[in-house]
Amino acid sequence: MKNYRNLVPVALILLMVVSIYTIISDAATKKKEVDEKITQAENCISQELYDKAASIYDEVISIDNQLSYYLKVIDMYFSAGDLYSSEDWCENALDAYPKSAEIYERLINIYITDEEYEDAFITLDECSGKKVNSETIEKYRKKIEFTHFYKNKTFDYVAQSSSGYVAVKKKEKWGLANTSGSLVVSPRFDDIGYFANGMVPVLINGVWYMMNESGEYVYNLTKSIDGKITDIGLYNNDVIPICVNGVYSYYDLNFKKKFGEYDFAGSFSSGVAAVKDGESWFLIDTSGKLITEVAYENVILDDRGICCQKERIFAKVNNQYILLDAKGNKVNNNNFDDAKLFTNGDYAAVEIDGLWGFVDTNGEVVISPIYFDAKSFSLGLASVTTDGELWGYIDASGNEIIEDEYIFCYTFTNEGSAFVQEDENDWKILKLYKYNYN
């Protein structure tokens, strides 16, 4: 019995040795088989027999499932110009390695090369969802940031967008479209204002109404207000400026006069509006009180009558424009010949010595004045013209992103769309893929 007990450890050791030998032997056999198949696949590649090479690599993967083998086939097809097969192999590889940055890098590059930008952005979203990232992925994200496409729209005129909607004109009648260019309310009005807080003023057959986005009349202004209405601003901050019998005042939603009698009254934004009394302009709050006692020579407004965006206002003093905050305080000591209101971007267009450049919200010049005319930045792009005839778009570094080929163009909306005009009655919608993919 004692001798038997001594033999057990020896038997175990021998068994372990045999097992290790078998593992090593199997591994060597496996490696030899893989190496032989890889050699066969490489020979096929050299003869441009790509599908056969891929089939052999498929056998290799069944033996030894390594990421490098997938990448080899993906790159092989890509170099051969077979983007479809390269994409297909990327999808197969992601089944095995769902968080591989190297696979995603290649898949995104395939979509960019094939100009399938919508798929590229969808894949970038997938990376973000999986928390997959790399310098190369970020490089691709930056590369396609401003890729765009067009939709043709046959409008005679397009107004500035407001709150996701835009007034459009066709055959002398006005209608309402969304920022994708789809008609929401067909053109049938004699005049139209700007959409805000669920309503837009419209004039039809001599009667002013407030209309919602469904085309339903919500209020009859002509019946509610005694006098001739000639202008209506935005309904913001619970008041709306309306010109009645040549005098501007602010009204509540019951269209009862709240305050003011001005030569002009702008729309409220950030609790501030600009009003004109005689030859002077003033800044007021929503109760009609002056924000400052300063009388300005002019205040910059956008098409909707708004004077304050991003808590910044451009006002004219001593024949020069200065930058103010929403409380009327001077931001810095820089002066400008002219200016455009900030939009939803970080830089505003300003004129200095006859040329246009850009300033930040601190009033500091960030792009030197070299343009004949310019509009403020929105979504990282600004429209500029160097000759006063054709417009294009630049990025925040001053690089040309979209060539100057339009006779007129608007800034980008929050939805990543901009109406551009190529000929007198030829309007298109320029849409950024970044904001317009499924």
Pair 219, 210: CB distance under 8 Å: yes
Architecture of domain 34-148: Alpha Horseshoe (1.25)
Q: Give the per-residue pLDDT at 424.
A: 78
For 8, 9, 11, 16, 337, the CA distances from 3, given in Å and listed in that order, are 9, 11, 13, 21, 108
More confident residue, 120 or 422: 120
Question: Maximum Cα–Cα distance for the chain, whole Å?
Answer: 122
Kindly report, residue by residue over 284-297, the tens digit of the pLDDT.
999 999 999 999 99
d(CA 278, CA 301): 17
Q: Give the per-residue pLDDT at 425.
A: 74
Confidence of residue 15 (pLDDT cuts 50, 70, 90): low
In this predicted structure, the answer to whether residue 20 has a pLDDT above a threshold of 90 is no
Torsion of CA 395, 397, 399, 400, to 10 degrees: 30
Q: Give the per-residue pLDDT at 32.
A: 86
Structure-block tokens of residue 371: 């343009």
Confidence of residue 17 (pLDDT cuts 50, 70, 90): low
Kindly report, residue by residue over 296-313, the tens digit of the pLDDT.
999 999 999 999 999 999
Kindly report, residue by residue over 301-347, the tens digit of the pLDDT.
999 999 999 999 999 999 999 999 999 999 999 999 999 999 989 99
Mind giving me the DSSP string for 412-427? PPTTSEEEEEEETTEE
Angle, CA 348 vertex, CA 417 and CA 303 arms, to 5°: 60
Query: CB within 8 A of 6, min separation 6: which ones?
Result: none
Query: CB within 8 A of 4, min separation 6: which ones?
Result: none
Mind giving me the DSSP string for 75-133? HHHHHTT-HHHHHHHHHHHHHH-TT-HHHHHHHHHHHHHTT-HHHHHHHHHHHHHHT--
Q: Work out the average pLDDT over 414-435.
A: 91
In this predicted structure, the answer to whether residue 10 has a pLDDT above a threshold of 80 is no
d(CA 278, CA 241): 17
Is residue 377 classed as helix, strand or coil in its secondary structure?
coil
d(CA 82, CA 114): 10
Q: Work out the average pLDDT over 28-48.
A: 90
Q: Give the per-residue pLDDT at 6.
A: 55
Q: Work out the average pLDDT over 219-224.
A: 95
Pair 421, 429: CB distance under 8 Å: no
Query: CB within 8 A of 437, min separation 6: which ones?
Result: 117, 118, 121, 122
In this predicted structure, the answer to whether residue 12 has a pLDDT above a threshold of 60 is no
- Exposed / middle / buried, residue 298 (Cβ in 10 Å: 0-12, 13-18, 19+): middle
Q: Work out the average pLDDT over 174-190.
A: 94
Q: Give the per-residue pLDDT at 31.
A: 83
Q: Work out the average pLDDT over 267-276.
A: 97
Strands 320-325, 312-317: pairing is antiparallel
Please give the DSSP secondary-structure letter assigned to residue 360. -
Least Cα distance to 127 among 104, 95, 110, 111 occurs for: 104
In this predicted structure, the answer to whether residue 193 has a pLDDT above a threshold of 90 is yes
Model confidence, pTM: 0.86
Question: What are the structural domain ranges in the chain?
Answer: 34-148, 197-335
3-state secondary structure 126-189: HHHHHCCCCHHHHHHHHHCCCCEEEEEECCCEECCCECCEEEEEECCEEEEEECCCCEEEEEEE
